[in-house]
Amino acid sequence: MKNELTRRNDYDFFDDFFPAFYGGKHSQKYMRTDIKEDENSYLMEVEIPGADKKDIHVDLNDGYLNISVNKSEKSVGGKKDNYIHRERSFSCSRSYYVGDVKKEDIKAKYENGILNVTIPKAAEKKAAESRIEIE
C-alpha cells in the first residue's frame, strides 16, 4: 500500500495533455455515458451504479438534458454510526446538449444501475424554395 501512495513515476504526457480522451486522472469518474443512434432516436446509457431511482433527477432546460444524482447518508432511527471514512454518499451531475426537443417526447428508465434515456431525432427541415422569378 505504501508503494502505491508514494509512487511518483506514473506520469504520462498523454494523460495530462488529453485527459478525457485517454482516461487520465481528470476523466469522468461518474455517470459514464454511451450514446447509440437508430433511425428515429438516440439512446443514452448512463452508468449510475448504487443509486436508487428516487435519487436521480432528469431535467430539460434550454436544449440541455441535465442528469443529477444525490445519494445522501442514511441514518437509522436518528442514530449516526461512527464512520472514519465514507465514499458511498455522493452527488454528481452532467449536462448533454440535445437541441430543440419536447420534454414529453423524452423517455427515461432506470434498471440495474443503468439509466436509459431515449431522445427522438428532430425532423429534418427541408429548405424553403428560395428562387425568385425574373419578370
* pLDDT tens sequence across 16-34: 444 444 444 444 567 899 9
- Contact (CB, 8 A) for 114 and 35: no
Q: Could you give the C-alpha distances from 85 to 61, 75, 81, in angstroms and in order?
A: 36, 15, 11
Residue 96's beta-bridge partner residues?
65
Q: How far is CA 104 from the centre of its chain?
A: 20
Which residue segment(s) compose the domain that 66 sits in? Answer: 29-76+83-120
pLDDT of residue 65 exceeding 90, the answer is yes
Residue 115 lies in a domain: yes
Grid coordinates of 110: 432506470
CATH number of the domain enclosing 98: 2.60.40.790
Amino acid at residue number 5 = L
Residue 15 lies in a domain: no
Count of the separate structural domains present in the chain: 1
Q: Could you give the C-alpha distances from 55 to 4, 67, 70, 116, 132, in angstroms and in order?
A: 34, 11, 5, 15, 57
Residue 133 lies in a domain: no
Residue 114 lies in a domain: yes
The model carries a pTM of: 0.65
* pLDDT tens sequence across 83-96: 787 777 778 899 99
